[in-house]
Amino acid sequence: MTVTLADVAARARVSPATVSRVLNGNYPVAATTRERVLRAVDELDYVLNGPASALAAATSDLVGILVNDIADPFFGIMAGAAQSAIGDTGTGRAGGEKLAVVCNTGGSPERELTYLTLLQRQRAAAVVVTGGALVDPAHIAALTAKLTKLGDAGTRVVLCGRPPMPGDAVAATLAFDNRGGARSLTEHLLSLGHRRIGYVAGPVERSTTRDRLDGHRDAMTAAGLDGPDADRLTVHGRYTRASGYDATRELLARDPSLTAVVAANDTVALGACAALREAGLRIPDDVSVAGFDDLPFSIDAVPSLTTVRLPLHEAGVRAGRLAMGADTPPPGGVATIPGELMVRASTAPPRG
């Protein structure tokens, strides 16, 4: 049975005119109403009637790049590199470049699904989804279903810096070895003699947080330091400087004898350094600090930051080329990209 515009309107509890406005984008519609309409479109798998239905399986010159936060260098570097690669290698139907659009989700799983619905409606040629995933079975199931619909319609889906998804909807996955990188970072601190190590983790619901914390715990367990302090010396927060500052203050309150702090990423590490200096502690003389990602400012921090380098630009370029079919997908569709330990001036053996 063919789904009609009236069916979508009934499901979304709006008028058919409102559905038309949302789909055509020719009239302002409240964000909550737009999302409700798009959800109904997705649930009913509605396809426009007439000539548009004949094009439903075709693809346009549009490519979507999804990021959690475009202001975060982690995502900005990957998105910029992917966008450039798409422009260099992607040829539109008329012989021109593909139009690569960056979609900023703000870390919202609902917004992530909404953007994918919009890209599906526009018959996007490809979609690149960057960054860690939400560790939630319901969202993973919804995301898998959405990516499957995109793939069935001819859209090439590439994951960059994200763990593999179930099923075969994804053309290629470039996954960072966050766990291995985090383990090597903590092993470095342990090799210097540190035993009282605090960990400033990211949001508990994110796969990147889970994998990096698991790597840290792997190293601590191998060193026989997996006792009750493991949880007490871990504080979760956002991937921001302010969160790193607050979490480090909390760690110092829990254990003033800490000799090292590992931060979830380099931005968090800057906040950790600020909190330590405010407490009258010197880096690394009193407390060593380490980050993750090797963002551009890391080497210029004072002292320069020990971290794990992820090849963000290179991964973004490869993701863009994969999205355009210009590179051969990795064996099995998944490539695991290792991090590189960058030892700098912010870490040293503990005093005494």
Domain range for residue 34?
A: 1-49
Tell me the pLDDT tens digit for each residue of 243-254. 999 999 999 999
22's enclosing H/E stretch is helix 16-24
- 42-56, 155-169, 220-234: lowest mean pLDDT where? 42-56
In whole angstroms, give the CA distance from residue 225 to residue 227. 6
Q: Which two three-digit tokens encode residue 51? A: 């000539």
Question: Is residue 151 situated within a structural domain?
Answer: no
Question: Is residue 12 situated within a structural domain?
Answer: yes
Tell me the pLDDT tens digit for each residue of 284-325. 999 999 999 999 999 999 999 999 999 999 999 999 999 999
| pLDDT (mean) for 151-173 | 92
Question: 215, 196, 212: which is closest to 204 by C-alpha?
Answer: 212
Domain count, the chain: 2
Question: Is residue 114 situated within a structural domain?
Answer: no
How far is CA 235 from its chain centroid?
20
Domain containing residue 34: CATH number = 1.10.260.40
Please provide the DSSP assignment of 324-350 as one string. TT-SPPPGGGEEEEPPEEE--TT--PP
DSSP structure class, residue 293: B
| pLDDT (mean) for 207-221 | 97
Domain containing residue 241: CATH number = 3.40.50.2300
Across 113-225, where does the E strand assignment appear? 126-130, 156-160, 172-176, 197-201
Taking the model in full, what pTM does it have?
A: 0.84
Question: Is residue 161 situated within a structural domain?
Answer: no
Question: Is residue 136 situated within a structural domain?
Answer: no
| pLDDT (mean) for 138-160 | 93
Question: Is residue 37 situated within a structural domain?
Answer: yes
Question: Is residue 283 situated within a structural domain?
Answer: yes
- So what's the pLDDT on residue 7? 87
Residues paired with 262 in a beta bridge: 199, 290
Question: Is residue 103 situated within a structural domain?
Answer: no
In whole angstroms, give the CA distance from residue 159 to residue 171. 8
- 25-29, 62-66, 127-131: lowest mean pLDDT where? 25-29
Identify whether the C-beta of residue 8 lies closer than 8 Å to the C-beta of residue 31: no
- So what's the pLDDT on residue 327? 95
